Amino acid sequence: MLHTLNIRKPDAVFPAFFRSRVVGNKVVLTNYEGQYAILTMDEFRLFAEGAVPPDSALYNTLRERNFVRAHYDANRAAEKLRARKTFLDYGPNLHVMVVTLRCNETCVYCHASRAGMDAVHTDMTKEMAERTVDLILKSTSPRITIEFQGGEPLVNFPVIQHVIQYATERNKDTGKTLEFTLVSNMSLMDEEKLKFLIESKVQMCTSVDGPKVLHDKQRKLPTASAHDAASYWIKRINKAYEEQGLDPTLYHVEALLTTTRDTLSMWKETVDTYVDLGCRAIFLRPVDPFGFAQRSEKRIEYPRAEYMDFYRNAVNYMLDLNRQGVQVLERFAAIFLTKILGGEDPNFLDIRSPCGAGIGQVAYNYDGTIYTCDEGRMMHEMGDDTFLIGNVRDSNYRDMMGHETVRALAIASNLDAQPDCVNCAYNPYCGVCPVHNHRTQGTLFGRMRESALCAVHKGVQDYLFEKIAENDSTTMESFQRWTTVRERTHYIQGITG
């Protein structure tokens, strides 16, 4: 970096510890605790050579943000770093329960490795569900989210009902802050199920892959339109929240997008679909290499450079909509901006250091087997049990947390121990997925310079810092709003109102 910018003689005394990255025609500096500064090329040369005039605005900015060694505030740095790493004080808070592998939809990229509707042996029993809940509530985390997944979890709705009732009752003794989340394609929803879920304060999430023509092409529902089913219930559930007097900016169906090759040219139509459905957020996720996605790779995969063009177009369009008063945000951007602008980590488990595998998330399969995370469970369905850490029949909490695989994943996802990450300017804000590395590169540590996931994370952050450098007031207003986190207390069990 210093060589490419023709730094004559780097100064070893003036700069405090920093990492740097050229973004456009600027240089982004970050320090260990995650503060940043965006400099011109000339300003960076002055900084690196220790020639910044002490009475200049640049000097004051660098000093204020802890980039000047003579004025380095170690106590303030420690406080900021501690704030970023508060998630390390707790145990796993997200507990994924796969209540069945059966599913009535056929998705071209199915990460869950679905089973047919006749595969009743993949349904979790009530006895297995109770054992799972008992183990979940032993987590040292004061906050617990139980997330129902599949397959299509509504296939095994009686067990969902039982888990909610059983966990709520058991939690009277443990006193956790308890929440429930359902991830469903919505095609098996009906008014009776919805009534129970609404009364039980279950947060609901579904998948929307864009406009109807694209969604129905990728997510096939026999004899019906998967898009019509999801759209109907998104609107119906959002209306139910409004009827309860809940703030629609906080309480609405969350929807997820899986970006395939066919999505790339439809960025505007995809954003418009979400806005028309009343969705306030879009997560522009690239396709993952798990489950059935490996079979259809030639049809759905794409170079990540093309994904970044799609991402930039889509987010630019969202920012234009924000200027027109339409409130919609992109989740990748919101996660990174919360760290960059807010100095806090929103604890999105896939993008933190170390990652959430085992120590932030645990996945429980229908048969009682336990995995470090849902991605680890997906690897099991592909015939790889690397991430298996126990069984609810005979494992205890200490066994799970002390498992050698959990320890290995914590080490492998520590960015300060990653050869390609330790000197990256985005180190304070980023995270790696060892399961993804294992699947794509055959090693937990991976080689980040060859990683598609790293290319996406860097590309998104490059885009965000370009926008921050432009310092457009309306864009920055949107970015600040995207980082605002408000407690959704309605979903917490035991809280009225």
Q: What is the pLDDT along the chain (497 residues), one digit of tens a residue?
A: 555 567 778 888 999 999 999 999 999 999 999 999 999 999 999 999 999 999 999 999 999 999 999 999 999 999 999 999 999 999 999 999 999 999 999 888 877 678 999 999 999 999 999 999 999 999 999 999 999 999 999 999 999 999 999 999 999 999 999 999 999 999 999 999 999 999 999 999 999 999 999 999 999 998 899 999 999 999 999 999 999 999 888 899 988 999 999 999 999 999 999 999 999 899 999 988 887 656 777 788 999 999 999 999 999 999 999 999 999 999 999 999 999 999 999 999 999 999 999 999 999 999 999 999 999 999 999 999 999 999 999 999 999 999 999 999 999 999 999 989 999 999 999 999 999 999 999 999 999 999 999 999 999 999 999 999 999 999 999 999 999 777 888 889 976 54
Name beta bridge partners: 37. 29
Per residue in 434-455, pLDDT (tens digit) is 999 999 999 999 999 999 999 9
CB within 8 Å of 164: residues ≥ 6 apart? 180, 200, 202
Is the torsion defined by CA of 312, 317, 319, 320 positive or negative? Answer: positive
Instruction: Indicate left, alpha or beta for 485 from its phi (over 0: left) and psi (-120 to 50: alpha).
Output: beta
Tokens of 245: 């007097």
- The one-letter amino acid code at 276 reads D
Tokens of 223: 């004899």
The DSSP line for 57-125 is HHHHHHHHTT-BGGG--HHHHHHHHHHHTGGGGS---EEEEE-B-B-S-EETT-TT--B-TT-GGGBPP
Q: Are 175 and 137 in contact (CB under 8 A)?
A: no
Query: Where along the chain do the CATH 3.20.20.70 domains lie?
Result: 90-497
pLDDT, residue 5, reads: 66
Name beta bridge partners: 205. 183, 254
Per residue in 301-340, pLDDT (tens digit) is 999 999 999 999 999 999 999 999 999 999 999 999 999 9
CA dist., res. 313 & res. 264, Å (int): 10
Per residue in 80-124, pLDDT (tens digit) is 999 999 999 999 999 999 999 999 998 888 776 789 999 999 999
CA dist., res. 462 & res. 350, Å (int): 19
Tokens of 411: 């080490």
Classify 423 as helix, strand or coil: coil
Domain 90-497 in CATH 3.40.50.2300? The answer is no
Q: Are 483 and 341 in contact (CB under 8 A)?
A: yes
Candidates 288, 278, 284; CA nearest to 264 is 284
CB within 8 Å of 468: residues ≥ 6 apart? 38, 340, 341, 476, 479
∠ Cα 99 214 382 (to 5°): 40
Candidates 254, 97, 250; CA nearest to 162 is 97
∠ Cα 192 236 491 (to 5°): 75
% of the chain surpassing 70 pLDDT? 98
